[in-house]
């Protein structure tokens, strides 16, 4: 790498534009022309490319360590049972104890009111089927692209696309609704609630009733019974009325 040829900030940013393909046609033509003519420039561009490759590769290595570590963690969490001849009697005892513990837990679970909430949630929660993905205008492409992921249960991908869109369309009820519902599908009520609440502030939204319904389910899952009932009362959907009846019986 050339010690003496200093890279200016302007050059660095020009090369960035060149590599990212964000130059307009004239600038690109001009730049490629000077690249051909000017040896020093060519060398400087090569140097910058190498620096950026180094940064990217080192960053990827760090990421890979993370991926690897997470994978190893997950494997550790799967219990390993190792039964050999010598400890078979021990393990039989172990299973007997384990089995009665499971039964006891089950009994406890059924009588714990918190878990009836969970049961109701599971009974009534089904993922919103989503919107038909016919492409309308082009600016809606990434919304429907996310919808394709959503329908395939690739929730993280869908969320990534929609949350990016949300930056431009912060108040869009459709986006807020589906982001909320996706979080709920992932079991993440904490994240789901604020998005669904945002939809319920828009009284003429076509997602208003459904939002109240899913908001109710989120609160039910969190054992906020009173909030849940309030939400279900505000939703006129058939499901909401059914679950409300079940809750008021308790």
Partner 1 sequence: MTQLTAQWELVSKIKANNELVLKQLYQSNYKKIEGYILKNSGSMPQAKDIYQEAFITVWKNIKEGKFSPHNETALQGYLYQIARNKWTDELRSSRFKKTNSLESFHQFSENGEENTTSLFEEKEQKIALAEEAFQKIGDECKQLLSQFYFEKKSLRDIAALFNIGEASARNKKYRCIQQLKELVTNNE
Taking Cα atoms as reference points, which of 175, 174, 246 lies closest to residue 217?
Answer: 246
CB burial string 157-187: b at 16+ within 10 A, e below = ebbebbeebbeeeeebbbbbbbbbbbbbbee
Q: Per-residue x/- marks for partner 1, 155-184, CB under 8 A?
A: -xx--x------------------------
Q: Which is nearer to partner 1, 48 or 228 (CB)?
A: 48
Q: Which is nearer to partner 1, 32 or 160 (CB)?
A: 160
43, containing H or E segment = helix 39-77
**Positions in 42-101 near partner 1 (CB under 8 A):** 47-48, 50-64, 67-68, 70-71
Least Å distance between CB 85 and partner 1?
Answer: 26
CA distance 22 to 10: 15
The answer to whether residues 212 and 244 touch, using CB atoms and an 8 Å cutoff, is: no
Size of site (CB under 8 A) for partner 1: 31
The alpha carbon torsion through 206, 210, 215, 216 (nearest 10 deg) reads 140
CA distance 207 to 166: 17
Find tokens 């910058």 and name the residue: 48
Q: Which is nearer to partner 1, 69 or 242 (CB)?
A: 69
Q: Does 191 bind partner 1 (CB under 8 A)?
A: no
Least Å distance between CB 188 and partner 1?
Answer: 16
Q: Which is nearer to partner 1, 145 or 223 (CB)?
A: 145
Least Å distance between CB 65 and partner 1?
Answer: 9
**Positions in 131-150 near partner 1 (CB under 8 A):** 148
Chain residues binding partner 1 by CB under 8 A are: 1-3, 7, 9, 12, 47-48, 50-64, 67-68, 70-71, 148, 156-157, 160
């Amino acid at each position: 790498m050339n010690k003496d040829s200093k890279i200016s900030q302007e050059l660095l940013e020009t090369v960035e534009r060149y590599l990212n393909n964000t130059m307009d046609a004239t600038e690109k033509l001009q730049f490629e022309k000077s690249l051909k003519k000017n040896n020093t420039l060519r060398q400087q561009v090569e140097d910058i490319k190498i620096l950026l490759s180094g940064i990217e590769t080192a960053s990827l290595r760090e990421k890979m360590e993370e991926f690897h570590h997470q994978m190893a963690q997950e494997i550790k969490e799967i219990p390993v049972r190792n039964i050999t001849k010598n400890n078979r009697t021990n393990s039989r005892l172990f299973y007997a104890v384990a089995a009665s513990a499971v039964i006891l837990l089950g009994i406890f679970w059924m009588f714990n009111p918190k878990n009836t909430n969970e049961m109701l949630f599971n009974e009534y929660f089904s993922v919103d089927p989503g919107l038909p993905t016919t492409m309308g205008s082009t600016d809606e492409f990434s919304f429907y692209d996310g919808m394709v992921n959503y329908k395939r249960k690739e929730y993280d991908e869908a969320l990534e696309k929609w949350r990016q869109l949300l930056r431009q369309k912060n108040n869009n009820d459709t986006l807020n609704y589906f982001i909320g519902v996706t979080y709920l599908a992932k079991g993440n009520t904490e994240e789901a609630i604020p998005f669904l609440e945002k939809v319920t502030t828009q009284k003429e939204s076509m997602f208003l009733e459904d939002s109240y319904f899913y908001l109710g389910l989120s609160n039910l899952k969190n054992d906020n019974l009173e909030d849940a009932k309030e939400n279900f009362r505000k939703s006129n959907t058939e499901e909401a009325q059914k679950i409300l009846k079940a809750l008021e019986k308790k």
